[in-house]
């Protein structure tokens, strides 16, 4: 396997370069390119061409390599299928929004959690990602944002996000971040210190691993926490999220409120709205009946939280159905009537397979 220069310490990189018969200062130049996310050595313009070619043949820049890049028709969403050094594949998504540039990163190759509506878990868990492998997903997005392609269409963020740079991170791609907690923490610390991304612009989403939430509390950084809830009762949640057999709703929410109370943050609640086909082929509500909306309201009423309602993106292998916009709005109306803050997540990049894990799964089928 080719050495991955991004993974080397400064001293190791210097030694590597000196052993190639090059002056030490080249190591510093190469490090700058690596920290900008250079996908290959040929793009390192201030390095002599002979060295660039030599490095291209003998080494690798980042621990991830783009094997597919899909852009939505509106140009606002770019999805990357990335390959790791051992051939495993992961996905990350760059979303250009009015508030900044957000990157959704994967924390594991595959997922062991087995949620019944999700494509990411269909092939099981392959392995945890290292902090560098997670961080490199941000670098890939940053390189893309600084490419010529975006020069003529800058966005105007409302806040103080740097125009053109990654400003927000959500750890919500493939994998359960709190099954890989220490590497996720290492990644976030680095994104904050090296890229200047504020704690409050970083969100970790969990299906409800209580010891992991406790670890985030102990860690003490005021990031955002999102809970993938998807059902308002233990009975229903156990049917679609096996983790609920281990950590019940009340226990998960208790840990989440402890986290948000500590940091005075709003808890994000993720709720995918699912339908099912009945024997006549008609779509019926699965976790989205008025009764479910009332029960969800009971859990959340008076709490500092925001419910993100997510229309389900169809996954062929999964036995659910997408709901109409009306059904989604009826569910939302009940939450609003009960005083629960809620919004419907805008569907992004549906034309490029935006359901988590879909691109990786489709590629594995080939
Ligand atoms: S929804 Fe998240 S935790 Fe559940 S299987 Fe998919 S990736 Fe894993």
Q: Do 144 and 24 fall into the same domain?
A: no
- Residue 318: predicted pLDDT: 83
Domain with residue 114: its CATH number is 3.20.20.70
Are residues 128 and 34 part of one domain?
no
pLDDT of residue 97: 84
Give the residue, out of 109, 112, 116, 121, with the most ligand 1 atoms within 8 A of its beta carbon, to mutate for a pocket test: 121
Residues 6+ apart with CB under 8 A from 345: 308, 309, 310, 311
Which residues neighbour 87 within 8 Å (Cβ) at sequence distance 6 or greater?
none
Q: What are the beta bridge partners of residue 36?
A: none
Which segments in the chain show pLDDT lower than 50? 156-162
Q: Which of 13, 40, 58 is the last residue of a domain?
A: 58
Same domain? For 107 and 233 the reply is yes
How many whole angstroms from 111 Cα to the centroid of ligand 1?
A: 6
Shared-domain flag, residues 212 and 316 = yes
d(CA 93, CA 82): 11
Position 346 scores a pLDDT of 73
Shared-domain flag, residues 155 and 295: yes
C-beta of 313 in contact with ligand 1 (< 6 A): no
Tell me whether strands 77-84 and 89-97 are parallel, antiparallel or unpaired.
antiparallel
Give distance in angstroms: CA of 160 to centre of ligand 1. Answer: 32
- pLDDT tens digits, residue range 41-67? 999 999 999 999 999 999 999 999 999
CA neighbor of 59 nearest in space, from 81, 42, 79: 42
Kindly state whether residues 41 and 173 are assigned to the same domain: no
- Alpha helices by DSSP H, listed for 146-209, are 181-195
Same domain, 250 and 197: yes
Q: What is the pLDDT of residue 162?
A: 45
Same domain for 90 and 42, yes or no, is no
Model pLDDT, residue 16: 96
Number of domains in the chain: 2
Q: What share of the chain has pLDDT > 70, as a percent?
A: 91
- pLDDT digit string, tens, across residues 206-240: 999 999 999 999 999 999 999 999 999 999 999 99
Q: Give 276-297 as a 3 state SS string.
A: EECCCCCEEECCCCHHHHHHHH
The answer to whether residue 356 is catalytic is yes
Cα atoms in the 13 Å half-sphere on the side-chain side of 31: 17
Q: What is the mean pLDDT of the chain?
A: 92
Query: What residues does 284 pair with on adjacent strands?
Result: 276
pTM confidence score: 0.93
80 in the same domain as 50: no
Q: What is the CATH number of the domain that holds 15?
A: 1.10.150.530
> Would you list the DSSP string of 56-76?
HHH-BSSSEEEEEEEE-TTSS
Q: Which two tokens stand for residue 109?
A: 């190759």
Domain identity same for 225 and 250: yes
Active-site hit among 14, 91, 133, 176: 91
**Residue 16, domain extent:** 5-58
pLDDT of residue 316: 81
Say if residue 185 is in the same domain as residue 310: yes
Listed in sequence order, the DSSP H helices in the chain are 10-19, 25-36, 49-58, 131-145, 181-195, 210-219, 234-240, 249-263, 290-300, 325-337, 358-365
Going from the Cα of 146 to the center of ligand 1, the distance in angstroms, rounded, reads 31
Q: Which residue in 111, 115, 305, 356 is the catalytic one?
A: 356
Query: Ligand 1, from 126, 179, 239, 356: best to mutate by most atoms within 8 Å of Cβ?
Result: 356
Q: Are residues 25 and 133 in the same domain?
A: no
């Amino acid at each position: 396997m080719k050495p991955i220069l991004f993974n080397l310490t400064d001293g190791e990189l210097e030694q590597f370069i000196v052993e190639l018969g090059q002056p030490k200062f080249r190591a510093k130049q190469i490090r700058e390119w690596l920290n900008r996310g250079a996908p290959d050595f040929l793009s390192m313009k201030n390095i002599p061409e002979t060295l660039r070619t030599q490095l291209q043949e003998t080494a690798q820049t980042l621990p991830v390599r783009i094997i597919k890049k899909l852009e939505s028709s509106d140009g606002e969403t770019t999805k990357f299928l990335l390959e790791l050094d051992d051939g495993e594949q992961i996905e990350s998504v760059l979303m250009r929004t009015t508030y900044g540039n957000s990157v959704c990163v994967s924390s594991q190759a595959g997922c062991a959690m087995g949620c019944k509506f999700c494509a990411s878990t269909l092939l099981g868990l392959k392995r945890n990602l290292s902090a560098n492998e997670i961080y490199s997903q941000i670098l890939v997005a940053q390189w893309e944002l600084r490419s010529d392609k975006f020069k003529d269409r800058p966005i105007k963020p409302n806040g103080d996000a740097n125009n053109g740079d990654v400003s927000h991170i959500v750890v919500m791609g493939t994998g359960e971040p709190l099954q890989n907690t220490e590497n996720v923490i290492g990644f976030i610390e680095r994104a904050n210190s090296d890229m200047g991304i504020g704690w409050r612009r970083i969100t970790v989403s969990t299906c409800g691993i209580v010891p992991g939430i406790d670890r985030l509390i102990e860690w003490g950084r005021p990031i955002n926490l999102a809970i993938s809830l998807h059902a308002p009762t233990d009975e229903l949640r156990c049917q679609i999220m096996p983790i609920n057999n281990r950590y019940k709703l009340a226990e998960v929410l208790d840990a989440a409120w402890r986290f948000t109370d500590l940091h005075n943050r709003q808890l994000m609640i993720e709720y995918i709205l699912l339908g099912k086909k009945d024997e006549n082929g008609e779509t019926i509500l699965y976790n989205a009946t008025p009764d479910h909306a009332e029960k969800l309201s009971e859990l959340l009423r008076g709490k500092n939280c925001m419910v993100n309602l997510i229309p389900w993106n169809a996954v062929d292998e999964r036995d659910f159905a997408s709901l109409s916009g009306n059904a989604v709005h009826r569910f939302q109306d009940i939450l609003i009537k009960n005083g629960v803050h809620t919004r419907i997540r805008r569907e992004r990049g549906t034309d490029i397979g935006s359901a988590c894990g879909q691109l990786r799964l489709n590629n594995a089928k080939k």
